[in-house]
Amino acid sequence: MKNQVENQKQIFRIDIGKSVLDDLRSRLANTRWPDQVENAGWNYGTNKEYLEELCDHWLHRFNWKDQEEYLNSFPQFKVEIDDTHLHFLHIKGEGKKNIPLLLTHGYPDNFIRFLKLIPLLTKADSQGLAFDLIIPGIPGFGFSSIPSRAGMNTERIAAILAALMHDVLGYEKFVAHGGDWGSSITEQLALHHKHLLTAIHMTEIPFRHLFTIQKDELTEPEKKYLQAGRQWQQKEGAYALIQGTKPQSLAYGLNDSPAGLAGWIIEKFQSWSDCDGHLDKVFTKDELLTNITIYWITQTINSAFRLYYEAMQEVSDPSKNPITKVAIPTAIAIFPKDMVPAPREYADRIFNIQQWTNMPHGGHFAAMEAPELLANDIRKFVSGIVEKQH
């Protein structure tokens, strides 16, 4: 895919108008709450008492302008690539040798997933190694523009990010890291833009491989993994099916009700993180609400859903995205409370695994939950790659 860069990057600052925030507060104040059975906990979905508490904090104590000031403390830009106005952070490293590192987020988060990694990776280690960090909002998320045409899938997003790194920022080679959709996009970068990639690092095997791997001659750990994946799908996967089949129908309610939006998003943070059922053990309310507020003010929940729809087309027709083993050196860090942690044998079939780490704690949102563990794993891997090149 050839991408057209329409103009050079422009400095960007977040500045949400008072009318948008006043409307948000009005809607929160007038929420019509549903009923809940006794002792429901989180068994039926998002717990009502917790959501009421969160929305009360959102209405009375959360200050978006404080969060906006914090986000604007990082250098942000926009550039037009392939009819997409791409928002990204670009933070230069402080080392003698700075390795460009693309960090790609997933759902239900956005570019803020990686903010805790910035001070950990931009500072130089004892060898003078640091990272230039490039943190985009993928198309349809956050402050990147909403695609108006069908077909914005992981392969097309990878092409846009490759153009960002090479054509806009001038990097001849870079390392890519991703989680959730970010891992799928990182895989597509390694497959279709391998001349630009030094190495890739991910926090899981892209989920599509649960549906595409050949089932013959699997080891026992692999068979258990596939069985766990099927069980997870039945118990937890309904959200992906509706987002992947009828995203527009779901979006009407969530784009209109901030409490509904929060209820839909927050349940994933509760069930996918290493919080032992208690979100406040891992995330602050302001942290969670900054993520949700970005979805609200940008009206991107629908476009975020559509990425599932595009992916569903590929899974239903594997010829659209055939499985090819990734040759680029790959590291995977497995966090134990992620959705369905995979065994190494399974990853070896798909990637050129050079480093495999089973982490002691953490879940799906590793960069937010355990940033030191993740940053150290990335450093260890990239340092080894750099040493081999010299």
Catalytic positions are 180, 308, 364
DSSP 275: S
Q: Which residues contact 275 (CB under 8 A, 6 or more apart)?
A: 269, 281, 282, 283, 363
DSSP 3-state of 349: coil
Largest CA distance in the chain: 64
Instruction: Quote the CA–CA distance of 167 and 7 in Å, as a whole number.
Output: 11
What is the DSSP code string of 45-93?
SS-HHHHHHHHHHHHHT--HHHHHHHHTTS-EEEEEETTEEEEEEEE--
**154 and 320 Cβ atoms separated by less than 8 Å:** no
Q: Which residues contact 36 (CB under 8 A, 6 or more apart)?
A: 44, 47, 48
Integer angstrom CA distances of residue 112 from 20, 138, 216, 367: 21, 12, 40, 9
Please, which residues bridge with residue 129 across strands? 97
Residue 31 CB: number of other CB atoms within 10 A? Answer: 17
Instruction: Quote the CA–CA distance of 164 and 9 in Å, as a whole number.
Output: 9
Of 7, 155, 3, 15, the closest CA to residue 76 belongs to 15
What is the DSSP code string of 194-258?
GGGEEEEEESS--TTHHHHS--TT--HHHHHHHHHHHHHHHHHTHHHHHHHH-HHHHHHHHTT-H
DSSP 342: P
Instruction: Quote the CA–CA distance of 390 and 381 in Å, as a whole number.
Output: 15
User: Hunting for tokens 């659209």 — which residue is that?
Assistant: 320
